Structure 1
Amino acid sequence: MGSELGLTADTQAQLDLSPVSIWWVVWGCVWTSFVAAGMAYLIVNRDMPTLRIRGLALSLSSIVLLHLFGWVCQFGLLIGAIMPGDTQYWVMGTWLPCGIALFHASNSRFLHVASLQRKFAVQGHRPLDTLPDAKLKPGLINRFRRLTYTTKIVITVGAAMVAQVFLTVLMWLISRKWHSSWGIPGTEVHGSSMAQKAAQGSGWEWWPGVFWQFVWSWIVAPIVLWKSRNIHDTQGWRVQTIGCALGNLHATPMWLIALYVPGMAPVNNYFIPPQWICLSIWIIEIFTVFLPCWEVMRHQSLRQETLDSIARWEAKVKLNSSENKSLKSDTTVVGSAVSGWKSMNASIQTTGSRDSILTMGALEHVLERNPLPLLEFSALREFSGENIAFLMAVSAWKTSLPQAPKDSAAGPDGHSRDLLRRAFNHALGIYVDFISVRHAEFPVNISSSDFKSLEDIFERAAYLLYGDEREADPVTPYDNFAMEPLSPAVSEGSEKGIANNTRNRIYYWGDIPDQFCATTFQDAEASIKYLVLTNTWPKFIKSQRYASVDSLDTLTDIGKTV
C-alpha cells in the first residue's frame, strides 16, 4: 500500500531537492500565476454578458479552494518528508471536497439558467399573475422552497460541506493514527517515525473524502451532462460543463489505484497519488477560467467588428448620399437573413451588404417584422432572451399608447384617465418582468441612472403589489387607494391593445407618478438595443449564415412570414 505523498519507511526526513521535485514546484508557481491572471481578467470584465450569466462568485470560489489543494500538492515531493503527518489529510479532507462541491453548485446553474431562458422563447415573459399569499405556509421546508435558486444551492452545498468537514474531524478524533494516546484502540500505527508517517497517508480515515469525490464526479456530473445534452449555447458554457465533467472522472479511481496498487510505486516517485486529482483540477481551471477569458476576448473582437462594419456602412451611405438605397439594401439583406441559408450566404458576399446587415436599421427591421427567430436564438443559445423579450414588450406597449395620455388625464368622462391607468399597469408589468431587481429573474442590463429613473416611477407600485412587505393590509391590499371604476366609455379595442400584457395581473389603483409618460422606457430601450446590436445580433447573423442545410426549409418558411 502506498502513501499520499509517496513516502516509504526508508525515506529520509529532509527536503527532496531532486530535479523532479523542483520541476513540480516551478510548475505550481507558474500555473498559479496564470490562473491568478485569468481570474483577475474575469473579475475586471465581470459585467460582460457572457460572464454575468455565469455567476462568478461560486465558480471562482471553487477555483480558489481547488487550486490551493493543487498548489500544496506540487510541494509534496519537495517537503513531504518533513511535513506533519496529518497535513495532507486535512488539506484533502477540507479544501478538496469543499472546492468540488462549490464547483458543481456553480455548474448546476447552467441547467437552471437554460430552463428559465426557455420560458422567454415560449411566452416572452414571466408573468406574475397572482398576489403573494397573505398567509405564507409555515415550516422550514416551505421557507426553503421560497428561497431563490442560488440561495437554495448554497444552503444545500453548504450542508454537504459541513457534513464532510464534520466527518473529517470525526475520523481524525477517533483514529489513533495521528495521536497514539487517545482514540479507538487498534487504530494506531507502529514502526519508525517515517514508517508511521507513510502509514498516515492512507487508510479508512480517508473514506469520507473518497465517497464525496465519487458522488460529485460519478453521480452529479453525469446527471448534469445528461440533462444538458440538448442545450447548444454560444457562450461556451456547455463545452465548459462537458469538459469539466469528463475531466473529473479519472481522478478518484486513479488516486485509489496509485495508493493501493503496488505496481504504481515507481510512478509515485515522480507523480504522487494526489497529482491525479490535480490533473482534473487543471482541466477544471482550463474550462472554468481560461475558456471564459477566451469567450470574453472573442466577444470583444466580434463587438469591435460589428462597430467597424457599422462605421464603414455609415461612411458609405454618407459618401453616396443615398438614404433610400441604404434602406432598400437593409430591407433586402435582412429579409434574406431570415429566409434561408443560401440567400443569406449570397447576400453577404460583398463587404457593403455585410456591413448593412449589421446596422441598427437591420436589427430594428427584424424586431418590427419577425422577432421570434431572434428571440429563440437569444433565449436558447445565448441565454439573453430577456433583452429581446423586453424590446418586444416595450414595442407592444408603445403601439398600444393613446395619443398624449397625460394631456387629457383630466377629462370629465374619465376616458383618458382610464387609458392612462391601463398604460401604467401595462408598463408596470414590463418593469416587474424585466427591470426590477426584486422580481425579474433576469433583469436587463441598463445603466444605474436609467434604472434609478424607472425605479422612481414603478418600484413603489411593484412593491405594493408583489413585494414581501406591504404598506396595505395583505388581506385587503387596495383599501388605502381610491378605487376608480373603469369608464364604460373605454372601448374593447383600446382595452385589448393597452392591457394585452396586464389583463391577467393584479391591477394597480394608486397614484400614478407625474414622471410617467410615453418616453418612460426610451433610454432603457435604446441601451438594450445597442447591447443586442453589439452582442446578440452579429452572432445571430453568423448562425443563420452557417446553419446546416437541414434547417433551410424551416428558415425559408420563416422568411415567408416576413
Structure 2
Amino acid sequence: MGSELGVTPDSKPEAVYSPVAIWWAVWAGVWTVAVGCGLAYLFVRRDSPVLRVRGIYLSLAAIILLHLYWASVQFGVMIGPIMPGDAQYWLMGTYLPIGIALFHASNTRFLHVAKMQKKYAQPDHHRALSYADARRQTGLYARFRRLDFDTRTLIVVGIAIVVQLFLTVLMWLISRKWHRTWGIPGTETHGTPMEQLTQMGQGWEWWSTIVGQFFWAWIVAPIVLWKARHIHDTQGWRVQTIGCVIANLPATPMWLIALYVPAFEVINPYWIPPQWICLSILVMEIFAVFLPCWEVMRHQSLRQETLDLIAQWEAKTKGTGNDAKSFSDVSTMIDSMMSGWKSTDGSIATKNTGRDSILTMGALEHVLERNPMPLQKFSALNDFSGENIAFLTSVAEWKNSLPKSIRDGSAPDNENTRELIHERYSRALHIYVEFISVRHAEFPVNISSQDLRRLEHIFEESARVVYGDEAKLEDPVTPFDKFTFDVPPSPTQTESSQRPIHLQPLESAARYGGDVPVPEDFDAKVFDDAEDSIKYLVLTNTWPKFIKTRRISTESADTLKPDGGDMA
C-alpha cells in the first residue's frame, strides 16, 4: 500500500512531472483564483443584508484554512516523493481540523439567528433577562453567558482546537516514526528512504485527526442538519448549510478506504487518498463562497427590479389626477392578497400594473398600518430581518402615543408637559436600546452612520445610566464590527399612521426616572430619518420577497381548490 500522498517503496526521490501531476497543479491555480475572487467579492459586499446576517468572517477564515490544505494536496502527486515525512501529518493535523471547526462554528450561527429571530414573530416580545439582572449574576459561567454568541462560539471551538492540536503534537512526540532519538520504542520506520517515507504517510499516529473529523462531520453536523429541518429562509443559508454538511459526511471514510484498502492502489497514483477530503472541501467552497455570491447578485437584481417597477408606477400615475383611485386600487389588491383570495379582476397575479403598484412604498405602509403581522412573521422566520418590521411598528406606536400638542410643539411649558415628555423619552429610550444601540440591541437595525451618531448623541448617555456600560448580551449580526452603510431616502415617501406590534419594555426601562435630563435635541421627529432608512431597506429587500411568497401561496391555494363545475 502507498502513503498519504501516493508514495510507494518503488517511488523515486524526485519531483514528478507527469501529465497527472501537471494537471493537478494547473487545476490548483485555476480553482484558487476562482475562490479568491469569490472571497474578495464577499468581503467587498459584506454590507449586503444577505451577508450581514451571516457574519461571514468565521466562514471566510474557515474557507481560507481549508483551501490552504486543499492546495497542498493538489501538489501531492508532484512533490510527494520529496516532501518531508511529517509535512502532510502537520497539514492534516492543523489546517484541516481548525478549518473544519471554524466552518461548523459558522454553521451554528444559522440556528442561533433563526432561534433569536423567532421572538419577532410574536405580537408581544421582550427579553427574558434584563441587563441589570444579568449583571447581578456572578461566576465564570454567568460571565460566559453574558458574552455575545460569536465570542462564546469561538471560545468553545478554540478549546476543541487546542485539544486537537495537543493530541496532534503528542502523537508526533511519542512516535519515533518521524524522529529516532526519542519516543516509544518500536515505533520506528525501517527500510530504504522511500519505504520509510511510505510508512510515515500512514499509521496509528493519525487517529486524533480522524476522530476530530468524525466528531465534526458525523456528530456536530447532523445535529445542525436536524435542527434546521423546519427552517425555510430566503437567504440561501439553509441550502448552504445542508450542502456543506452532506459534503462532509463521506470525506473521512473514503480517505481511510483509499489509504488502507488494496483495491484502491490502482486509483491512488491518479487520485491520492486525501483528494477525497479535498472533494468535500471543493463542494463546501461552492456552497459557502459561490452560493452567497449568487444570493448577493440576486438580491441586487431584485432591489433594482423593485426600484424600476416603482419608477414605472410613479410615471403612470404622475399628473393623472387619479392618485386617490390608484391608492384605493392598491389597498384592495393588498387586502385581497393578505386574506388569501384573489381580487375580482385577478389583478394580483396577472396584471403588470398590479405588480407595479403593489411594490410601492404606499402599499408597504398600508400593510404596516392595517395588518403588519404576516409581514412581521415572514421577515422574522424567513428573511431573518424581523427587527426591521418590529422597529417600524414600535416607532409608529410611539408616534401615535404622542399628544398632538407635543407633536406640533404647542404644549405649554409646565410640570405636566415635562412629566409627559419624560415618559415619552423613556419609551423612546427603550426603542433605541432594543433596536438601534450597537451596545445593547441583539439585532441592531442597519441605519446610516450619520443617523446612528445623532441618535447616540441623544440616547446613549441615558442608555448607559439605565442599562449600564456593559455591551449587549448577544450580537448575532455584527460580532466583529459595527459596520453601517448609508441608505438613500425613499423615492416614494408618504405619511401614514401605522398599527404597531405592542412591545413589552425591558424591566430596566421602567426604572428610568427624571434624574437624567431629556436632551434638547429630543423631539417627536427623533426617529424619522432612521424610520425612512429602514422603510426603504424593507421596500427593496424584504417586501418584494414577501409579495412573491404570498402570490405563490395564493396561486397554490387556487390550484388546489376545485372549480364550481366540478363541485356540482
Normalised by the length of structure 1, the TM-score is 0.90
Structure 1 unaligned segments of length 5 or more: list them.
471-496, 554-562
Q: Is the 8 A contact 1:50 1:295 kept in 2?
A: yes
- 1:551 Cα shift? 6.0
- Output the CA distance in 1 between the equivalents of 2:420 and 2:554: 48
In the alignment, is residue 73 of structure 1 matched against residue 73 of structure 2?
A: yes
Q: Relative to structure 2, which stretch is displaced further, 182-191 or 396-405?
A: 396-405
Q: How many angstroms does 1:280 deviate by? A: 0.5
- Measured against aligned partners, the alpha-carbon deviations of 1:100-153 in whole angstroms (never above 9, x if no partner) come to 000000000000000000010014654477451497444322221221111100
Cα distance in structure 2, aligned partners of 1:269 and 1:345: 64
1:535 has 2:541 as partner: yes
Q: How is 1:457-536 mapped onto 2 (pairs within 5 angstroms)?
A: 457-468=458-469, 501-502=504-505, 505-509=509-513, 510-536=516-542
More displaced 10-residue stretch of structure 1: 335-344 or 446-455: 335-344
AA matched with 1:526 = D
Query: Aligned partners of 2:293 and 2:416: how far apart in 1?
Result: 56
Three-state SS of the structure 1 residue aligned to 2:81 is coil
CA distance in 2, matches of 1:84, 1:140: 44
Listed as ranges, the gaps of 5+ residues in structure 2 are: 472-499, 560-568
1:545 aligned residue: 551
Equivalent pair of 1:235/1:382 in contact (CA under 8 Å): yes
SS of residue matched to 1:189: coil
User: Alpha-carbon deviation of 1:310?
Assistant: 0.2
Distance 1:417 1:503, change over 3 A: farther
2:276 corresponds to = 276
Contact 1:125 1:389 in 2 (8 A): no
Larger mean CA deviation between 315-324 and 77-86 belongs to 315-324
Q: CA RMSD in A?
A: 2.3
Distance 1:190 1:134, change over 3 A: closer
Spell out the pairing of 1:50-61 with structure 2 (5 A cutoff): 50-61=50-61
Residue 335 of structure 1 and its aligned partner are, at CA, apart by 1.5
Partners in 2 of 1:389 and 1:222 — Cα distance?
Answer: 33
Q: Distance in 2 between matches of 1:548 and 1:223?
A: 34
CA distance in 1, matches of 2:56, 2:506: 38
2:511 is paired with a residue whose SS is coil
Q: Which residue of 1 aligns with 2:217?
A: 217
Question: Which range moved further: 501-510 or 299-308?
Answer: 501-510
Query: Does residue 154 of structure 1 match 2:154?
Result: yes
Paired AA for residue 388 in structure 1: I
Aligned counterparts of 1:353 and 1:11: Cα–Cα separation in 2: 72
Structure 1 residues 117 and 264 mapped into 2: Cα distance closer, same or farther (>3 Å)?
Answer: same
Determine the C-alpha separation between the residues in 1 that align with 2:347 and 2:86. Answer: 68
Contact 2:388–2:538 (Cα < 8 Å) also in 1: yes
Say which is worse superposed, 289-298 or 120-129, in terms of deviation.
120-129
Q: Which amino acid aligns with 1:194?
A: M
CA distance 1:70–1:134, shift in 2 (3 Å): closer
Letter in 1 for 2:541: N
C-alpha change, 1:552 and 1:351, in structure 2 (3 Å) is: closer
User: Aligned pair in 2 of structure 1 residues 469, 92: CA closer, same or farther (>3 Å)?
Assistant: closer
**Residue in structure 2 matched with residue 301 of structure 1 by the alignment:** 301
Residues 90 and 229 (structure 1), Cα distance of their counterparts in 2 relative to 1, 3 Å cut = same
Q: How does 1:97-116 map to 2 (within 5 A)?
A: 97-116=97-116
Residue 33 of structure 1 corresponds to which residue in structure 2? Answer: 33
**Which amino acid is the alignment partner of residue 376 of structure 1?**
K
Structure 1 residue 319, shift from structure 2 partner: 5.1
Distance apart, 1:329 and its partner CA: 2.0
Counterpart amino acid of residue 507 in structure 1: R
Q: For the structure 1 residues 263 and 355, does the alpha-carbon distance in structure 2 shift closer, same or farther, using more than 3 Å as the test?
A: same
Mapped partners of 1:512, 1:45: distance in 2: 39
Asked if the contact 1:340–1:552 (Cα under 8 Å) also holds between the matched residues in 2, the reply is: no
C-alpha distance 129-176 of structure 1, shift in aligned 2 (>3 A): closer
Percent identity over the alignment is 60
Report how far residue 180 of structure 1 moved. Answer: 1.3
SS at match of 1:283: helix
Separation in 1 of the partners of 2:167 and 2:421?
63
Tell me, in whole angstroms, the C-alpha distance in 2 between the residues paired with 1:215 and 1:373.
40
Letter in 2 for 1:46: R
Question: In the alignment, is the contact (CA less than 8 A) between 1:310 and 1:358 conserved in 2?
Answer: yes
User: Residues 373, 162 of structure 1: CA spacing in aligned structure 2 closer, same or farther, 3 A cutoff?
Assistant: same
Match of 1:330 in 2: 330
Could you say which residue in structure 1 is the equivalent of 2:174?
Answer: 174
Describe the SS at the equivalent of 2:244: helix
Structure 1 CA distance, aligned partners of 2:153 and 2:364?
38
Structure 1 residues 266-323: Cα deviation after superposition (integer angstroms, max 9, x where no partner): 1111100000000000111001000000000100111010000000000000153321
> What is aligned with 1:393?
394
Q: Find the aligned partners of 2:298 and 2:503 in 1 and give their Cα distance.
A: 40
Aligned to 1:445: 446
Name the SS of the counterpart of 2:94 in structure 1.
helix
Letter of the structure 1 residue corresponding to residue 533 of structure 2: S
Q: Aligned AA for 2:203?
A: G
Q: Secondary structure at the match of 1:212?
A: helix
Structure 2 CA distance for aligned equivalents of residues 314 and 548 of structure 1: 27
SS at match of 1:7: coil
- Partner Cα distance (1:257, 1:303) in 2: 49
Q: Tell me which residue corresponds to 1:117.
A: 117
Q: Tell me what 2:475 maps to.
A: none
Deviations 1:134-187 (A, max 9, x none): 974443222212211111000000111111111111111111000112111001
> How many Å apart are 1:415 and its aligned residue?
1.8
Change (3 A) 1:378 1:133: closer
Alignment of 1:408-447 (within 5 A): 411-412=413-414, 414-447=415-448
CA distance in 1, matches of 2:221, 2:338: 37
Find the counterpart in structure 1 of residue 350 from structure 2.
349
More divergent stretch after superposition (332-341 vs 203-212)? 332-341
2:474 is aligned to none
Aligned to 1:547, what secondary structure does the other structure show? helix
Offset, 1:404: 3.3
Q: 1 CA distance for matches of 2:424 and 2:129? A: 17
Work out the number of aligned pairs and report it: 528
Mark the CA change 1:285 to 1:415 in structure 2 (over 3 Å): closer, same or farther.
same
1:327 CA drift (Å) = 1.1
Residue type at the aligned position of 2:553: A
Cα distance in 1 between the residues matched to 2:398 and 2:85: 69
Q: 1:503 to 1:149 in 2, by over 3 A?
A: closer
Q: Which amino acid aligns with 1:383?
A: F
Q: How many angstroms apart in 1 are the aligned matches of 2:222 and 2:32?
A: 29
Match of 2:359 in 1: 358
1: CA distance between counterparts of 2:332 and 2:431?
A: 32
Residues 210 and 252, structure 2, Cα contact 8 Å, conserved in 1: yes
What amino acid is the match of 2:160?
Answer: A
Kindly provide the CA deviation profile for residues 359-411 of structure 1, in whole angstroms up to 9, marking residues without a partner as x: 00000000000000000000000000000000000000000011233846764
Alpha-carbon contact 2:7-2:81 (below 8 Å) kept: yes
Distance between the aligned counterparts of 2:65 and 2:155, measured in 1? 18
CA distance in 2, matches of 1:99, 1:386: 32
- For residues 25 and 395 of structure 2, the distance between their equivalents in structure 1, rounded to whole angstroms, comes to 58
Q: Evaluate the alpha carbon distance shift between residue 130 and residue 20 of structure 1 in structure 2; reply closer, same or farther with a 3 A threshold.
A: closer
Which SS does the other structure have where 2:132 is aligned? coil
Letter in 2 for 1:251: A
Structure 2 residue matching 1:506: 3-state secondary structure: helix
Match of 2:339 in 1: 339
Residue 486 of structure 2: aligned partner: none
Does the 8 Å CA contact 1:425/1:507 hold for their aligned counterparts? Answer: no
